[in-house]
Structure 1
Amino acid sequence: MNEGIVSHAYGADEPELPSPPAVTDIRLSPTVPAPVRLWKLWLLTVCGIYPTIVLLGLATNPVLENLYLPVRLAVLVPATAAAMVWQIMPRLQRRCGAWLTR
């Protein structure tokens, strides 16, 4: 590209007009996320899901105790998955985000 045309378009000859925008290196952009270590994500998931299953199991035991185990699990698993996806994991990842990418 002809630099004279570009600088003239941005007013390099006239001091009151803005200068051309600076070129930035995309490799230095802070928006590129670091890779998450999968074993750390697994450990964080286990640490979140175990207490959730225990607490939900204890909370629903008086209501679900007479049902067969597969039926109890059919109630507990979707409730646990919803709690993990929308409440627990976002909070754990926010709290432990730097550790996940180290």
Structure 2
Amino acid sequence: MNERTVSRTYGADDPGHPTVPAAVRRWKLWLLTVCGIYPTIVVLGLATDPVLGDLYLPVRLAVLVPAAAAAMVWQINPRLQRHFGAWLAR
């Protein structure tokens, strides 16, 4: 599968969608995701602690996880993939 085929699969030919290289190693995507999700969860946890601090952990996570996932999908991962794209494709 070449880069053009993968790009069409992900809808990257549309403006605003990054191109995903065809030969990305899964461990590299995993590492990039971990490096993005950890600080996101820490910052969201600290920011919402005054409001959600008295709630049980599962309830707090029910708020934090969707917010962290949305941040990763629409903001953090595209920027990380754009910045580290050459490394991901190696």
TM-score (norm 2): 0.77
Runs of 4+ in 1 over 6 A off after TM superposition: none
Correspondent of 1:91 among 75, 79, 84 = 79
Any idea what the Cα deviations from partners look like across 1:64-93, whole Å, max 9, x if unmatched? 011000000000000000000000000000
Q: Which structure dedicates a bigger proportion of its chain to helix?
A: 2
- Across the aligned residues of Structure 1 and Structure 2, the Cα RMSD in angstroms comes to 1.6
5+ long unaligned stretches in structure 1: 1-28
Deviation at 1:31, TM superposition (A): 3.7
TM-score (norm 1): 0.68
The answer on 1:75 being equivalent to 2:57 is no
5+ long unaligned stretches in structure 2: 6-20
**Structure 2: distance between partners of 1:85 and 1:30:** 21
- Higher RCO, Cα 8 Å, sep 6+: 2
Pairwise mapping of residues 19-30 of structure 1 onto structure 2 (< 5 A)?
Answer: none
Instruction: Give percent identity, aligned residues only.
Output: 80
SS in 1 for 2:84: helix
Any idea what the Cα deviations from partners look like across 1:22-60, whole Å, max 9, x if unmatched? xxxxxxx97464310110000000000000000000000
